Chains A and B, each alone.
Chain A
Amino acid sequence: GQQLNQSPQSMFIQEGEDVSMNCTSSSIFNTWLWYKQEPGEGPVLLIALYKAGELTSNGRLTAQFGITRKDSFLNISASIPSDVGIYFCAGQLYAGNMLTFGGGTRLMVKP
């Protein structure tokens, strides 16, 4: 099955820095999701995007649905140690379809 290209694969940043990650696909999606997986846990939904061009925030997190519908971006402002984890993007073409997941971005934050 298709996989989304997610980058970077890992990031090691200083506390307080801003973080950007993105996902690209060769085909369009109508829904983009961003999940976070903390160590030893399953992924938890952070943000869902439903319209091309949509920009949605959840606290210090902001995600955008790319205008071409083939990409999505996640930004984290002023990172803190509890932001550590793996962030996954996922795309869905139609309601009821399976999700296609990116490879994940592992974020490490140095206090």
Chain B
Amino acid sequence: DVKVTQSSRYLVKRTGEKVFLECVQDMDHENMFWYRQDPGLGLRLIYFSYDVKMKEKGDIPEGYSVSREKKERFSLILESASTNQTSMYLCASRVTNRETQYFGPGTRLLVL
């Protein structure tokens, strides 16, 4: 079974704080993704990574950065959290050139 884990299920942060969201997958997948999920908007891609040390901007990268130092780990960084970044954040992974993405349980982030 593919396992994608996220470091926190719930986080509360203050405006201006630096926030790290961690994602780990145990299936040796090359590709990893970060999405945010907001009601009625579905899943919007923030950043993705084809492989170690590689990263590409998704549809809504502003205010975020990522790090992929090891194949199994993909980190999402909010350099200076703002209230409009309050959302559910989902990490996913897949094998290169396969359509199926496997999702983690999500991190619900509240920025006050």
Contact = CB atoms under 8 A, between A and B. Distances in A.
A98 B97 contact: no
B46 to A, nearest CB: 11
Interface in A37-53: 40-45, 48
Nearest to B96: A96
Interface in B83-100: 90, 92, 96-100
A44 B44 contact: no
Interface centre among B48, B98, B99, by most chain A C-beta atoms within 10 angstroms, is: B99
Tell me the dominant secondary structure on chain B's binding face: loop
A92 B100 CA distance: 10
Given A42-B104, A43-B103, A98 B42 contact: no
Nearest to B35: A101
A42 B4 CA distance: 10
B45 interface: yes
Contacts of B4: 42
B48 A41 contact: no
B40 A103 contact: yes
A6 B97 contact: no
Contacts of A44: 103
B8 interface: no
A101 B100 contact: no
Interface in B53-109: 58-59, 90, 92, 96-106
Contacts of B101: 45, 99
Nearest to A9: B40
B10 to A, nearest CB: 10
A103 B99 contact: no
Given A1-B44, A6-B42, A98-B45, A33 B98 contact: no
Contacts of B104: 42
Given A42-B106, A99-B101, A1 B40 contact: no
Contacts of B92: 42
Contacts of B90: 42-43
Interface of A: 1, 3-4, 6, 9, 31, 33, 35, 40-45, 48, 88, 92, 95-96, 98-99, 101-104
